[in-house]
Amino acid sequence: MVACVLGVSLLGGASDGQEGTKAMLKQDYVPPIFARGPSVADPNFVAWLKTYSGPVKLPFTIWRTPHRVGSIGVHTTMPASVLRFSDGALGIPLDERLHQLCGDAEPCRIWLAGRLGESMPLPDPGPSTIFNVHAVHERVEGEGPHAAQLIRGDECLAIRSLKRLHCARGPDRCASCKQAQAEPAAPKLLDVCPNGDVARPTIEIVRDGETLFRPFDVLQTFASADAARAFAKKHGLTDVRID
């Protein structure tokens, strides 16, 4: 039985990754900022992944014997079609990281970041069945369904002081919205390139000198303005407006 799987078979913590190929102090590592992408249980997920050009963080179920293979999602049995892994970009071999996080547990369910169809250091004859691992993250918790996590850069991020949002009905029609509006605003990290076509609030941003109104998702709420500014400085974020 499969608890959370792709609609069709896919053919075609602290993390170690590309930063592990260089001499880098642990305190100097700046982790990427992830935002929620499409669900791996979506029937169109495979088609989306084949066309997505950026690195993506995905939940994998990995079997290490007799040969290391895996499949996206949370599985209890091995599907007929599986993926292989290229770990040339890692500072620590993938098998060692799996052992550190899962011990001898079989299978091992883990979040991996990378790209589909790449291999290092040499091209692979079957690129559609390989996932190039850039970084190893935490163990997968829960049965899902889980969603892909997409890396967001400065262009897609903003920090604003906003009041807590409850629902689209607004304070005139919703008691909880009215209560949220009475609370003080807090600095929030916003994803202004959110995935999916759903109703969202919008904010005004400026990109390349052009004023735009973009829908957003809230990725994080900061405890204070100082914490928000420190986060922005660490991650090199430029669109910061804190009242």
DSSP string across 7-19:
SS--------BGG
Residues 105 and 213 occupy one common structural domain? no
Q: Which domain holds residue 183?
A: 153-241
Residues 161 and 145 occupy one common structural domain? no
Are 89 and 18 a contacting pair, CB within 8 Å?
yes
Judged against a pLDDT cut of 70, whether residue 225 lies above it is answered with yes
- HSE (side-chain half, CA atoms, 13 Å) at 13: 19
- Number of Cβ within 10 Å of residue 145's Cβ equals 16
Residues 224 and 108 occupy one common structural domain? no
Residues 177 and 228 occupy one common structural domain? yes
Which of 151, 170, 198 is the endpoint of a domain?
Answer: 151
Residues 37 and 117 occupy one common structural domain? yes
Residues 16 and 77 occupy one common structural domain? yes
Residues 137 and 219 occupy one common structural domain? no
198 — pLDDT class (breaks 50, 70, 90):
confident
Q: What is the pLDDT of residues 149-188, one digit of tens each?
A: 999 999 999 999 998 887 777 788 888 888 888 889 999 9
pTM tops 0.85, yes or no: no
Residues 225 and 115 occupy one common structural domain? no
Which of 127, 151, 175 is the endpoint of a domain?
Answer: 151
Residues 132 and 169 occupy one common structural domain? no
Measured at the CA of 133, the angle between CA 128 and CA 136, to 5 degrees, comes to 145
Rounded-to-integer distance, Cα 85 and Cα 30, Å: 25
